[in-house]
Amino acid sequence: MNRSKILHLLKSEHPVKDVVVRGWVKTRRDSKSIFFLEVNDGSCLENLQVVATGETGNFDIIQKILTGTSVKVTGDLVPSPAKGQRWELLAKKVEILGLTDSSYPLQKKRHSDEFLRTIAHLRPRTNKYGAMFRIRSEASFAVHLFFKERGFYHIHTPILTTLDCEGAGELFAVLEASRDNKQRAPLFDKTLYLTVSGQLAAEMFACSLGNVYTFGPAFRAENSNTPRHASEFWMVEPEVAFCDLHQNMDLAEEFVKSLVLFLLENCKPDLSLFSRFIDPELMPRLESICHLEFERIPYKKAVDILKKADISFSYPVKYGLDLQTEHERYLTENFFKKPVFVYDYPREIKPFYMRVNDDGQTVAAMDLLVPKTGELIGGSQREERLEVLEGQMESAGISKELYGWYLDSRRYGTVLHSGFGMGFERFLMLATGVKNIRDVIPFPRTPGTVLF
Ligand code: 4AD
Ligand code: MG
């Protein structure tokens, strides 16, 4: 046995002899001839208390241990006389794996999020960011579990693309079209971009395999220096054949509830850190997301509510204008006090692929707005009628040649279908209550400190 994980040791039902623990020391406390080490190995939020007494023998080594030192401890797991912990490790041998010194930036004290972003490579060693990235991992698993249980297939859609327009935002160009480029990447004779969304590709698979989803990185070159936008983020995008806008909202609601429930069941200790130190309203909010029915209102009604609001917004509210974050947050936080779907947006402010409603003025779009985070999900029923879609592309100035493959799905056996995209980081903000998207990203980008 290479090592026992602290997560499992702390749950032990009985004492265990001769266990090996490897991890990083959070603190060392000396009391007469006894040393107390708080050791964390990343398997859980809690530390294991290691007690080294005279019998351990190697005090000269233990004295070199500082915050951040990595150690291997061999000893017996015994009941702890200390309050608040069931077990401790009575050390027989303490070995230093890696020394540290007083320049270690994570000395035991509270550090600001801004400072920690500048040392993103060490940040996961703190309680808060250790918890964050365990939650992120569990949430990612929960996404796959949700779709697996419902018979969806996971499709890996292209990350490099030559499509220059999806209507979702600005693109990062990886290689400009040039003769030089033709030699380096001969398959791509056009400018090569990073994808903004897997949707159009996923649609082709929904119109073949029925129920599919993608879960991958998306890149947007605009507007990334806000607390809610990142230039590189992960997006979950289900796409479902024979599914209309309202069934799409049903799926989105079930999805969000199921992810939250999964975290409540599987990440209690880590979530409790966020409810204790970051957002006292977190637990009640997560519970209410699981139990309350989400509100659903047409865009027109949202505008009416905003016009009557007794607060003054910085951006104008007018039928035909897109909703801004302040409007979205008013609807979900102040007015309804729960998640809200806004649907049937004006045609002009939405991308070409959304289905035109019978009124000719609106499209079958939906956004899910949630407290604290604002827009969590954006989706729509897709335009399945070839002529209408061609008309939409023409008004948007999109080349029918480049999108011939997309139009084929409407040419040959077209079907009604819908889907949505959920920003994975936005979901994590909702789940943990953190206010800045940079704090749910393993290596965040901030002006002046881009590590990778
Ligand atoms: O609303 P968006 O732009 O929709 C699409 O990309 C569609 N193709 C999705 C679909 O129907 N399959 O983006 C979807 C979600 C947003 O609601 C938001 O949660 C997140 O992606 N998002 C961002 N998250 C972080 N940083 C950014 N810059 C984001 N842009 C969008
Ligand atoms: Mg959107």
Give the pLDDT of residue 204.
98
Give the pLDDT of residue 32.
82
Q: How far is the CA of 367 from the centre of ligand 2 (A)?
A: 7
Give the residue whose CA is nearest to atom 3 of ligand 1. 168
Q: Ligand 1: which of 236, 355, 426 to mutate, most ligand atoms within 8 Å of CB?
A: 426
Q: How far is the CA of 377 from the centre of ligand 2 (A)?
A: 7
Give the pLDDT of residue 180.
66
Q: Which strands form 153-154's sheet, in the order they lie side by side?
A: 153-154, 211-219, 232-241, 417-423, 374-381, 362-370, 340-346, 295-298
Which atom of ligand 1 is nearest the CA belonging to 169?
A: 3
Give the residue whose CA is nearest to atom 25 of ligand 1. 229
Give the residue whose CA is nearest to atom 22 of ligand 1. 423
Give the residue whose CA is nearest to atom 18 of ligand 1. 423
The number of the ligand nearest the C-alpha atom of 240 reads: 1
CA-CA distances (angstroms) from residue 208 to 203, 212, 419?
9, 9, 15
Q: How far is the CA of 207 from the centre of ligand 1 (A)?
A: 22
Q: How far is the CA of 60 from the centre of ligand 1 (A)?
A: 56
The number of the ligand nearest the C-alpha atom of 420 reads: 1
The number of the ligand nearest the C-alpha atom of 368 reads: 1
The number of the ligand nearest the C-alpha atom of 369 reads: 1
Give the residue whose CA is nearest to atom 28 of ligand 1. 229
Which atom of ligand 1 is nearest the CA belonging to 224?
A: 28
Q: How far is the CA of 377 from the centre of ligand 1 (A)?
A: 7
Q: Which strands form 160-161's sheet, in the order they lie side by side?
A: 160-161, 192-194, 173-175
Q: How far is the CA of 187 from the centre of ligand 2 (A)?
A: 32
Which atom of ligand 1 is nearest the CA belonging to 421?
A: 9
Q: How far is the CA of 113 from the centre of ligand 1 (A)?
A: 25
Q: How far is the CA of 218 from the centre of ligand 1 (A)?
A: 9
Q: How far is the CA of 421 from the centre of ligand 1 (A)?
A: 6
Give the residue whose CA is nearest to atom 5 of ligand 1. 421
Give the pLDDT of residue 160.
92
Give the residue whose CA is nearest to atom 7 of ligand 1. 421
Sorted by where each begins, the domain ranges of the chain are 6-98, 123-439
The number of the ligand nearest the C-alpha atom of 197 reads: 1
Which atom of ligand 1 is nearest the CA belonging to 223?
A: 28
Give the residue whose CA is nearest to atom 27 of ligand 1. 229
Give the pLDDT of residue 121.
95
Q: Fold for 123-439, please state it.
A: BirA Bifunctional Protein; domain 2 (3.30.930)
Give the residue whose CA is nearest to atom 29 of ligand 1. 229
Which atom of ligand 1 is nearest the CA belonging to 239?
A: 12
10-residue averages of pLDDT along the chain (452 residues): 93 97 96 93 98 80 94 97 93 96 90 94 97 98 98 97 71 77 69 92 98 96 83 97 98 98 98 97 97 98 97 95 95 97 97 97 98 95 98 92 95 98 98 97 82 70
pTM of the model: 0.96
Give the residue whose CA is nearest to atom 30 of ligand 1. 229
Q: Which residues line ligand 1 (CB under 6 A)?
A: 168, 197, 199, 220, 224, 229-230, 233, 235, 237, 375-380, 419-423, 425-426
Q: Fold for 6-98, please state it.
A: OB fold (Dihydrolipoamide Acetyltransferase, E2P) (2.40.50)
Give the residue whose CA is nearest to atom 9 of ligand 1. 421
The number of the ligand nearest the C-alpha atom of 377 reads: 1
Give the pLDDT of residue 179.
66
Give the pLDDT of residue 224.
62
